[in-house]
Amino acid sequence: MSIWVVRAGEGSEIIEEVRAKDVITIGWPAMGDCSGYQSREDFRQAYREAYPEDTNPYRIGLQAGQVYRFVREIAVGDTVMTPDGPVREMLIARSHRGIRSRPRKNSRPRSRSTSMRTPGRKLMNLSRISSRG
């Protein structure tokens, strides 16, 4: 079992959708349905074709790698943490279904169901976490 951090968009912009629909979700809509891609290179190639204006090899690897991990590595039963920046909380849930693709024009076409709405869910208050330097 692994632990993953999946953000709710820039500045937690879709945190209410994450809470309401009990999902984690990512973007890169121009890549389309990635369910048939197997290797990291498949995802890199799909990213290059979808975003031809992005020619930076580092950025291509980073962006395609995020989609690859979401599609191929997050497994049912894994723990998923989603930061809610404005209130400084961390939503903690378990992934309990496989990936769903929504190929229509959608800014976040891939999602996974979670157990965030389960009674007794835990929220970690980030203001209580400090680092020692």
Please write the tens of the pLDDT for every residue from 9-22: 888 888 888 888 88
Most distant CA atoms of the chain, gap in Å: 47
pTM: 0.77
pLDDT of residue 46: 96
pLDDT of residue 28: 86
Please write the tens of the pLDDT for every residue from 48-65: 999 999 999 999 999 999
Beta strand extents in the chain (DSSP E only): 3-5, 23-26, 79-84, 89-101, 110-114, 123-125
pLDDT at 113 over 80: no
Q: Mean pLDDT of all residues in the chain?
A: 78
Cβ–Cβ under 8 Å, residues 34 and 46: yes
- The alpha carbon of residue 15 and the mean position of all alpha carbons in its chain are separated, in whole angstroms, by 12
